[in-house]
Amino acid sequence: MLDKTKIVQHRLKSSQYFQESSKKHQIYLHHTAGNSDATSVARYWDSTSERVATAFVIGGMGTIVQCYPSIEWAYHLGLNQKAFNGLPYKNLDKSSIGIEVCNWGMLKEKDGKFYNYVNRIVDSSEVTELDKPFKGHKFWHKYTDKQIDSLKNLVVYLCDKYDISNEYNDDIWGITERAFKLENGIFTHNSVRKDKSDMYPCPRVIEMLKNL
């Protein structure tokens, strides 16, 4: 169960998101491609002018940071009309809630060591090896148990609050028309962007989503 009193509030400047309420139909799961500090993610968003952010960021220790009210919105998917491939355009950013999980993402193995995309070594205890490569990569930065637990509690809360379906569908790890059609449910950034890899299909995350 989500303990809302433990959510850290780091509200972005009013110019960093759209202060308007909107009906929510979807949740999109992302990872940051960065370190474990959720507050630093919020600080970075506050330093830009693009209104790119998500309502929540989950740090490496499972701490949930809230950046703006979940009923409001910011850009987090990076979509234009062309991305809809002939389907009617819908403002998915406005109609969804984004959740970022602090994680480096894909890793490269060299001489028994693992490197993230900025060429920093990641300890082998923090590596997930997939049975099959995902988007060309078999090794990924591990989502921590505390992150997965916090993600579960947050998703359950949001699905209940906004009447969003928590049924698991295995097509969320790639492009799916269901997302573009604004079908009610949980998706990942992969669901609408071929060039993205967040979140990756970690077996522990999949198991959690199947048992919401």
pLDDT score for 37: 97
Residue 190's pLDDT band (boundaries 50, 70, 90)? Answer: very high
Q: Read off the pLDDT of each residue in 171-199 and give the average, rounded to a whole number.
A: 98
pLDDT score for 43: 96
pLDDT score for 30: 98
Which domains are delineated in the chain? 4-103+143-210 (3.40.80.10), 106-141 (no CATH)
pLDDT digits (tens, 9 = 90+) for 154-164: 999 999 999 99
Q: Read off the pLDDT of each residue in 56-80 and give the average, rounded to a whole number.
A: 98
Residue 82 structure tokens? 């062309």
pLDDT score for 57: 98
* Order of all β-strands in the sheet with 137-141: 121-122, 113-115, 106-110, 137-141, 127-134
DSSP-based three-state secondary structure for 10: coil
For every residue of 196-211, which 3-state class applies, written as one string?
A: CCCCCCCHHHHHHHHC
Q: Read off the pLDDT of each residue in 21-34 and give the average, rounded to a whole number.
A: 98
pLDDT digits (tens, 9 = 90+) for 118-156: 999 999 999 999 999 999 999 999 999 999 999 999 999
pLDDT score for 141: 98
pLDDT score for 104: 98
pLDDT score for 66: 98
